[in-house]
Copies of this chain bind each other. A is one copy, B any other.
Amino acid sequence: MADNNVSEIMIRVNYSETDRMGVAYHGRYPVWFDMARTEHLRRTGVAYRELEDGGLLLTVSELQVRYRRGAEYDDLVRVRCWVREVATRRVTFGYVVEHAGRGDILATGMTSLIAVNRDFGVVHLPADLKDALCAIPDPVRI
């Protein structure tokens, strides 16, 4: 996973994210993916906020998560993110969530995002954005 096209963020599991089982609620993973995706875009030179301010929105059209093991309260987790595929109007990201201390995989996932304008009409991804997004083979099986 030493690929230059895989970025990573670290997240400390907060009390607000835990549930009655004592682990991070499964619905938090899509948020972690979102945080990782934003930083991945930033690292490739794309400030998503500026895209939106310019009228281009990326709206999530598909989400998949496979959970292998829970992230406990106060655990430090690493979320790696990469671009899986870039199409005319859609970009797909892959994610893996790992326990930072032990290194084992807690979950994997993907999201597809569609380019839309402010009225939610589907549009083409701008050429410069497509160029910035470098799709790679999945470094781990999702």
A interface residue numbers (CB < 8 A to B): 12, 14-16, 18-22, 25-27, 29-31, 34-35, 38, 47-49, 52, 57, 59-67, 69-70, 73-74, 120
17 A-B pairs (CB sep. < 8 Å): A12-B38, A14-B34, A14-B38, A15-B20, A15-B34, A15-B38, A18-B19, A21-B59, A26-B59, A30-B30, A59-B67, A59-B70, A62-B64, A62-B65, A62-B66, A63-B64, A64-B65
Please name all residues of chain B whose beta carbon is closer than 8 Å to the beta carbon of A31 when the two chains form the complex. 14, 16, 27
Indicate if the CB atoms of B18 and A26 lie closer than 8 Å: no
**Copies of this protein, total:** 4
Please name all residues of chain B whose beta carbon is closer than 8 Å to the beta carbon of A66 when the two chains form the complex. 61-62
Complex Cα gap A60–B71 (Å) = 13
Tell me if A's interface is mostly helix, strand, loop or mixed: mixed
Q: Which of B12, B25, B49, B62 contacts A16 (CB 8 A)?
A: B25
Q: Which of B12, B35, B47, B64 contacts A64 (CB 8 A)?
A: B64
Indicate if the CB atoms of A57 and B21 lie closer than 8 Å: yes
Please name all residues of chain B whose beta carbon is closer than 8 Å to the beta carbon of A20 when the two chains form the complex. 15, 18-20, 22, 52, 73
Indicate if the CB atoms of B19 and A19 lie closer than 8 Å: yes
Complex Cα gap A22–B27 (Å) = 17
Complex Cα gap A48–B63 (Å) = 26
Give A48's nearest chain B residue, CB to CB.
B74
